Amino acid sequence: MSSYRNLAGSMLLGLAAAGIAHAQAPTPSAATAPADPHLWLEEVLGDKPLAWVKQHNAVTTKELEARPGFSALQARLKTILNSKERIPYVSKEGEYYYNFWRDAQHVRGIWRRTTLAQYQLAEPAWETVIDLDQLAAGEHENWVWGGASCLYPKGERCLISLSRGGGDAKVVREYDVAKRAFVDGGFTLPEAKGSASWIDQDTLFVSTDFGPGTMTSSGYPRIIKEWQRGTPLTQAHTLYEAKADDLSAGAYKDFTPGYEHQFIERQIDFYSGEMFLRDGADLKKVPKPDDATAFTVRDQLIITLRSDWKVNGKTYLQGSLLATDFKAFMQGKQDLEVLYAPTATSSLDNVTPTKSTILVTTLDKVKNRLTELRHVNGKWQRRAVDAPKLGTLAVSALDPVDSDQYFLTVTDFLNPTTLYLATAQSDKRTKIKSLPAYYDAAPYKVEQFESTSKDGTKVPYFAIMNKKTKLDGSNPTVLYGYGGFEVSLKPSYSGTTGVAWLEKGGVYVLANIRGGGEFGPRWHQAALKENRQRAYDDFISVAQDLIKRKVTSPRHLGIMGGSNGGLLTGAVLVQRPDLFNAVVSQVPLLDMRRYNKMLAGASWMGEYGDPDVAEQWAYISKYSPYQNVFKDKKYPRVLFTTSTRDDRVHPGHARKMVAKMEEQGHDVLYWENTEGGHAGAANNDQQALMWALTYTFLLEQLK
């Protein structure tokens, strides 16, 4: 089962990292860019670039680690991140519930399991299945956990993914849980950006790097094969080939008894794709709109619309959730039922099937609501679930094929995240786990405000501050944003933010700007491509509103964002440097002239546009940070952070921006973790260091 859409954040800026250790800085052609004197910094593991990184890391850590309170903050963050009181989230495989866990004793982590009865105890008895620290030491590899996919329903055989240093490129190896050992002669895939999924115990769907010509221009697999046990991968049977300029291709099986369908998906770009039902040797296209997402739940096909869809004279609105009989739909009958339709203030957030229901999570003014849908005697029945009305709700089915039980996670800015066990058709739930209060939240309050963007659009944002905060413009304030790929920023509890910022007297602000998904596809599409500036205008409007309300002032206001949010802060940095006194840009895109040539950047052209097309470069060039930073402008101080092993966003973006700004005489700091992938850190200790550096920088600049 899958949610109604792929979370863009998980695939955002993804890339094929096989061969990253040998990546060389490509030479730009005259058609793509003028000469770039800092192009050499794109050589990820070159001796000269790494020496540059080492030098800059030394400068940054020397300054920030010497600040009063740094060591104490880092130690406290380590305690939070390694706390044994964290919620150990689980997934069900067979009769057991599995969790991957890191702490001070298990730096790389352990994959462990328990029973549901044990899990409900305060101190569950866990069985270690894989000790990653031991495995890495025994194999002399820098293994970082990449996940497990186990064969339904017993979960006795699993495909284990491992990456070197935390990148997205992974090795896949078959594991026998009962024997606690990798299967000798079992299914094994070499390191690549790809995947494998079970068809049965002796057969897999495989999408990986099969050699020259088998990957898309974005660096993802484009060929789906069926691989039989006991045969070499080279003899796997080809089922489907996507086009070279598509984003990717994938395949999966629905294991629901009686509805055991196999699907192949062609992802054309980030927001459109085709879906095929495998019927023997034939592939039958599912006749949904290309930009709609769909999946089956027993006899029903569930469809989510990104655009209006006209069918038989009726228009179904973008952002709607539809259902139809799958068999009839494949036969050409388009009898669609609306399960949810958006309003001016609400949108679809997620869809989670259980054995007999569908749990629909919606957002209303960036606050979650939960509804239960049941298909009974050909009719859909709905029931509002009595759940907390403030904050964020997340639903996870224990076993969507065979159980109506689900986990409900409840979180907001000030109340520790709590996990409940619930059952469909009932409002009763049992509290299973809860985070401890990492800081005293009693002195703080949360308020939701609106700013007015340049074009008149109202932009909501949350502000967390001390109840005694004086509105005199003197409060150190961090404004965080993302604004892309239809990703919604929702309230959540963070011990790190509480300890490192709120307790220090800071105000924390979360902006729900366009480009995100807080108000559905329309909110996202309003800031696509030629309209990208709207996201930056929204963010600027929130900053201006905070200043107008005297929550803060430019002297005390900083901004922070990562990935696409790093691009956001970079763009706003060069456009309105007068509004801020500190900028944190994490694992960012910054050189938008070359982003589509740096690793898998081509996969994001559906979001930003193609800089090699003159008409599109005309609008991209206006906000691309690397092309719009100038010597004669005064900028606030910036901390750029990234990771050598980030195989989503090329570290060359941040490296080159720092080199250019230094060349122009601007004051910047730079820190590059040598492992950790797109998350910026591979373990809890690295996370503690990264956040201690970040918040120390912000406090020093804004206090």
The pLDDT assigned to 682 comes to 57
Question: Rounded to an integer, what distance in angstroms lies between the CA atom of residue 282 and that of residue 285?
Answer: 10
Residue range 287-314, pLDDT digits in tens:
999 999 999 999 999 999 999 999 999 9
Is pLDDT at 21 greater than 80 in this prediction? Answer: no
The percent of residues in the chain predicted with pLDDT above 90, rounded, is 89
What pLDDT band is residue 676 in, cutting at 50, 70 and 90? low
Is residue 502 within 8 Å of 477, Cβ to Cβ? no
Split at pLDDT 50, 70, 90, the class of 678 is low
Q: Which residue has the higher pLDDT, 649 or 662?
A: 662
The closest of 532, 526, 548 to 621, measured between CA atoms, is: 532
Q: 3-state DSSP: the chain helix, strand, coil percent, rounded to 5?
A: 25, 35, 45
At residue 10, the pLDDT reads 38
- Grade residue 702 by pLDDT with cuts at 50, 70 and 90: very high
How far apart CA 278 and CA 285 sit, in angstroms, is 9
What average pLDDT does the segment 95-118 reach?
97
Q: Residue 153, preceding bond cis, omega within 30 degrees?
A: yes
Domains and CATH numbers, the chain: 40-78+438-701 (3.40.50.1820), 95-152+154-254 (2.130.10.120), 344-401+403-436 (2.40.10)
| Residues 623, 502: Cα–Cα separation, whole Å | 32
Which pLDDT score is estimated for 167? Answer: 79
* 574-604 as b/e: b if 16+ CB within 10 A: bbbbebbbbbbbbbbbbbbbbbbbbbbbbbb
Computed on alpha carbons and rounded to an integer, the radius of gyration of the chain in Å comes to 25
561-578 pLDDT, tens digit each: 999 999 999 999 999 999
DSSP letter for each residue of 281-327:
TEEEE--S-TT-EEEEETTEEEEE-SS-EEETTEEEPTT-EEEEEHH
Strand 507-511 with 477-480, pairing: parallel
Residue 286, pLDDT score: 98
User: Which pLDDT value is given to residue 684?
Assistant: 86
CA 13 to chain centre: 10
Residues across the chain? 703
Indicate the angle between helix axes 70-81 and 684-702, nearest 10 degrees: 140
The answer for residues whose C-beta is within 8 angstroms of residue 588's C-beta and 6 or more apart is 561, 562, 563, 565, 566, 567, 569, 570, 640, 642, 649, 653, 654, 657
**Exposure of 310 by Cβ count < 10 A (0-12 exposed, 13-18 middle, 19+ buried)?**
exposed
Is the pLDDT confidence value at 3 over 70? no
Average pLDDT over residues 386-393: 92
Q: Is residue 12's pLDDT more than 80?
A: no
Q: Are 351 and 302 in contact (CB under 8 A)?
A: yes
Q: What is the token pair recorded at 52?
A: 């540059």
Please check the confidence at residue 657 and state whether its pLDDT lies above 50. yes
Return the minimum-mean-pLDDT range out of 474-478, 518-522, 653-657, 680-684. 680-684
In this predicted structure, what is the pLDDT of residue 5?
Answer: 32
pLDDT in tens, 311-338: 999 999 999 999 999 999 999 999 999 9
SS3 550: coil
Lowest-pLDDT range of 81-85, 228-232, 465-469: 81-85
Res 28: pLDDT: 38
Q: What is the mean pLDDT of the chain?
A: 93
Residue 680 clears pLDDT 70, i.e. is over it:
no
Is pTM, for the whole model, over 0.85?
yes
Q: What is the largest CA-CA distance in the chain?
A: 72
Residue 24, pLDDT score? 33
C-alpha atoms less than 13 angstroms from C-alpha of 28 in its C-beta half-sphere = 21
List active site positions. 563, 678
Q: What is the mean pLDDT of residues 648-677?
A: 91
pLDDT single digits (tens) 584-636: 999 999 999 999 999 878 889 999 999 999 999 999 999 999 999 999 999 99
Spatial separation of the C-alpha atoms in residues 248 and 30, rounded to whole Å: 29
Lowest mean pLDDT among 244-258, 397-411, 413-427, 677-691: 677-691
What confidence tens digit (pLDDT) does each residue in 412-433 have?
Answer: 999 999 999 999 999 999 999 9
Reported as a pLDDT band with limits 50, 70 and 90, residue 389 is: confident
Better pLDDT: 520 or 34: 520
- Token pair, residue 199, equals 């068809």
